[in-house]
Amino acid sequence: MSMADIYLDNNATTMVDPLVVEAMLPYFTEQFGNPSSMHSFGNKVGRAIKQAREQVQILLGAEHDSEIIFTSCGTESDSTAILSSLKAQPERREIIITQVEHPAVLTLCEYLEKDGYTIHRMKVDSKGRLDLDVYRRLLSDRVAIVSVMWANNETGTLFPVLEMAELARAAGVMFHTDAVQAVGKVPIDLKNSAVDMLSVSGHKLHAPKGIGVLYLRRGTRFRPLLRGGHQERGRRAGTENAASIAGLGRAAELAMENLAYESTAVKTMRDHLEEGILGVVPNAFVTGDLDNRLPNTSNIAFEYIEGEAILMLLNRAGIAASSGSACTSGSLEPSHVMQAMGIPYTAAHGTVRFSLSRYNTTEEIEGVIRAVPPVVAQLRKLSPYWGEDSPVADPEKVFAPTYS
Amino acid sequence: MWDYSEKVKEHFFNPRNAGAITDANAVGEVGSISCGDALRLTLKVDAETTIILDAGFETFGCGSAIASSSALTEIVKGKSLDEALKISNQDIADFLDGLPPEKMHCSVMGREALQAAIANYRGEEWQDKHEEGALVCKCFAISDAMIEETVRSNDLRTVEDVTNYTKAGGGCSSCHEAIEGILTRVLAEQGEVFHVQAPPAEAQPVAASRDSTMTNLQRIRRIETVIESIRPQLQVDNGDVELVEVDGNTVYVNMSGACSGCQVISMTLGGIQQRLMEELGEFIKVVPASQMSQLARAGI
C-alpha cells in the first residue's frame, strides 16, 4: 500500500485520526494505571475515562453520562442489548428485526431461534425500505425487543428508527438500534428520542478497533452480559481498555466537529462519484434508497460481472472498496441485503460499495471515476453475458449453464 | 482479501485464451449464477486424432474462477479427449500453485466444464454430479451438502463419525458446532435425537479371533494388499504409505509426502487400522515406523 492509494472502504473500517492516536499514546506509557486503583497511577486514567464518557455523551445527545457503557465492539453491544432484554423479560419470547441487519444481530437471532424464540424479520422493498404497517402489527406484549439498524452498512439506507422507537415505546416494547454506521455521519439526539439502547463501534468513526459503546437509557431494565468487577457500574465487567476509551472520546469530539462536513462536502464527493461512473458505464445502477441514505455511501451494481474480480482490478489500480458478491465472503450466495431487495443475481454479484470519509479528496474521486470504466469493460469482455459493447440479447437464455 | 498465489493473480490479471473460439466444435456451459460463478468453455477438437487444438473461455466469476478457467484452457490444449478427461480439479489447482479451500469449487467448475464440453462433442448428455453446499470444514474443504449426504447414507451419529467418514472436523475443530447442527437436523428428520455420547455408527468390526487357517505369509500378503488399495486415496492428496514391518498385532508403516507431518496423520493411521481390522478380522494396531525402535525398547 502506498500513500497514493485511495481508500473508499470506510464502512468497513476507518483510518485512526492522528489526533486520536495522540490522545491514546499516554495510556500506553506513563498512564498505565488501573482506574480502579486507589493510588495516583489509576486516578488519572479514571479521569480520562470520565472525560471520554462525556465526549461520547455529547455526540449521542444522551441525557446522562452514566448512560454510556464502554464495550469491546459493536457486536458486543448488539449481543448485550438483545440478550439483556431476553434475560430481563423471560416471559417475552419474540424479537423483531429486519432482513437486512448486520450479521452481529442476524446470526445471534438465528441462534436464539434454535432455543425457541420467534424472530420476526421484516422485509424491505426494492429500495431497501421497511413497511411500518407491518411493523405496527408485529408489536405486542410478546415482543422482548425491537432491533433495527439506524443505517444499512451496504447501501447506506437510513431506517425510520426514531419513529419506530416511539411506536415501540407506545406498545411497551424495548427498542435497540445498531447505529455503528450512523454515528458521526448523521446527527443523533438520544435524550429527545424513545431509543432505549444503541450500539456504537469506535473503528467506524476514526477511533481504533476493539472499542465500542452501548448506550443504555436510564431506567431501562438491564442484565449484564459480562459479570465480575464493578467497571461501568457493574454493567460491563472487565478492566477498561483505557487507551482506546480515551481514543474513542477524542474521535467522538472530532466527529461532532465534522458532522456538518459529512453531510455537505463528503456528500458532494459521493454524488459526484456516482454521476461520474453512471454517466460512462452502461448497465450499472445505484442500490438502496437514493433519497434517504448516509452521505458517504454509494453502492453500485455493475451487471454481468462479479464483484471480487472488480475489487482485485481496482486494488491493482490503488483503489480500495468492497463488494456484496458471494466470493468476497466465501459464502454461496450474494449479500443478504441485495437478496432482500430483490436485486437479480447477475447484478447482485457485481455490487461494489464505495464508502467515503472526510479524508477523501475531490482529486481522489476523479481518479476513481477514471479507473472504474476500463475495469468494468475488461471483465465484461470475459463475461458470457456480454457481447461487443452491450449485454447479449436475452442474456439469461443465451447463457444458461447447467445447475444454475 | 484472499491469499491467492502469484500464479492465480497472474492468470487473473492476464488471462490466457479469453473469449469464445469462433470455429469451436465442443461447448460446455456450467456453473451457478446464484453462487456467482459460471463458465462457458469452447474447444476445437481435431476429428481424426481427437486432439484439442484450441480452447477458449468466457467466465462470469471471481478472480480464482477466471484464473481457473484460464489455467484449464492452457492445460487442455494439445491433449487428446481421453487424456483431457483424466484432468482432475486438483490438477487445475496445482497448475495455479493451489487455491484457498473456499475457492476449490472454481477448479471443480473448470473440470466440469471440460467434461460437459467433451460430452457435447461426443453427442452425449453430461450428468452433473455436483454438490452445491456451504463450506463447513475449512481445513479439508468439506461442504454441508457432502456432510449431510454422508450422515444420511451411513447413519452417522456423532461428530467423530463425521470426521471418520468425511475428514470434516478433523483439523482445527472449530466447525464442530456446525457439524452437531447438521447431525441434530438430520437425526430429527428421522425421529431421533442427537447425543454427544452416541455409540459409533457401526460396531467396531473386530472379530474375536483371527482366521486361524491363514499362514503368516498369507496374512502379511493380505496386509500388503490392503495397504496397496489405500495408497491411491492418499496419492490424491499428494501423500503415500509404505508397509515396513509386521510384529504380531502391530503394523509399522511409513507415511510420506503430504501425509508426513499432516495434522491429521493420526486420523489417517486410524483409517488404515480400521481397514486392516475389517479385512483381517482381528485387532491390529498401526504405528508409524519412526516409533519402531522406541516401542521395541519399551517392550510393547
pLDDT for B50-63, tens place per residue? Answer: 999 999 999 999 99
Contacts of B99 (CB under 8 A, 6+ apart): B4, B5, B8, B64, B68, B93, B106, B107
Strands (DSSP E) found in B74-181:
135-137, 142-143
Task: Fold for B216-298, please state it.
Answer: GMP Synthetase; Chain A, domain 3 (3.30.300)
What is the length of chain A? 404
Helix axes A40-60, A242-261, angle to 10 degrees: 30
Give start-end residues of each CATH 3.90.1010.10 domain in chain B. Answer: 6-121
The residue from A86, A256, A290, A327 that is catalytic is A327
Distance of CA A148 to the CA centre of its chain: 12
- Phi-psi bin for A330: left (phi > 0), alpha (psi -120 to 50), beta? left
Asked if B13 and A316 come within 8 Å (Cβ–Cβ), the reply is: yes
Contact B257, B267 (CB under 8 A): no
B106 a catalytic residue: yes
CA distance A381 to chain B (A): 7
Question: Bridge partners of B245?
Answer: B252
How many contacts (CB atoms, under 8 Å) link A and B? 114
Distance CA B66, CA B57 (A): 9
Asked if B133 has any chain A CB less than 8 Å from its own CB, the reply is yes
* Position A242 pLDDT exceeds 80: yes
For chain B, give the percent of residues with pLDDT over 90: 43
CATH number listed for the domain at residues B135-189: 1.10.10.1100
State which residue of chain B sits closest to A345, comparing Cα positions. Answer: B34
Which grid cell sits at B90? 486438483
Return the DSSP state at B41.
E
Residues of B within 8 A of A322 (CB-CB) are none
Pairing relation of β-strands B250-257 and B285-288? parallel
Q: Sorting pLDDT into bands at 50, 70 and 90, what band is B129?
A: low
The predicted structure's pLDDT at residue B142: 86
Asked if B65 and A326 come within 8 Å (Cβ–Cβ), the reply is: no
pLDDT digits (tens, 9 = 90+) for B1-22: 688 999 999 999 999 999 999 9
Contact B21, B54 (CB under 8 A): yes
Give start-end residues of each CATH 1.10.10.1100 domain in chain B. Answer: 135-189
For residue A61, which of A182, A167, A152 has the smallest C-alpha distance?
A: A182
Asked if A304 has any chain B CB less than 8 Å from its own CB, the reply is yes
Amino acid at A151: A
* Position B203 pLDDT exceeds 60: no
Pairing relation of β-strands A319-320 and A6-7? parallel
Pairing relation of β-strands A297-302 and A197-201? unpaired
The whole-number average pLDDT for the span A77-103 is 98
For residue A215, which of A39, A67, A25 has the smallest C-alpha distance?
A: A67
CA distance A331 to chain B (A): 7
For chain A, give the percent of residues with pLDDT over 70: 97
Distance CA B155, CA B152 (A): 5
* Nearest CB partner across the interface for A306, out of B60, B112, B132: B60
CA distance A35 to chain B (A): 36
Task: Tell whether the torsion through CA atoms of A26, A27, A32 and A37 is positive or negative.
Answer: positive
The predicted structure's pLDDT at residue A335: 93
Q: Sorting pLDDT into bands at 50, 70 and 90, what band is B207?
A: very low
Q: Sorting pLDDT into bands at 50, 70 and 90, what band is B250?
A: confident
Which grid cell sits at A207? 477511533
* Nearest CB partner across the interface for B66, out of A315, A346, A382: A382
Q: So what's the ipTM on this one? A: 0.87
Does pTM top 0.90 for this prediction? Answer: no
Selected for mutation to probe chain B from A13, A115, A306 (highest B CB count within 10 Å) is: A306
pLDDT digits (tens, 9 = 90+) for B131-176: 667 889 888 888 899 899 899 988 899 999 998 888 889 888 999 9
Tell me how far apart the 2 most distant CA atoms of chain B are, in Å: 72
* Position B26 pLDDT exceeds 90: yes
Distance CA B22, CA B41 (A): 12
The predicted structure's pLDDT at residue A298: 98
Residue A105 has phi, psi (to 5 degrees) of -95, -45
Residue A125 has phi, psi (to 5 degrees) of -85, -170
Q: Does domain B6-121 have CATH number 3.90.1010.10?
A: yes
The predicted structure's pLDDT at residue A327: 73
For residue A118, which of A100, A134, A142, A102 has the smallest C-alpha distance?
A: A142
Distance CA B229, CA B219 (A): 15
* Nearest CB partner across the interface for B31, out of A313, A346, A404: A404
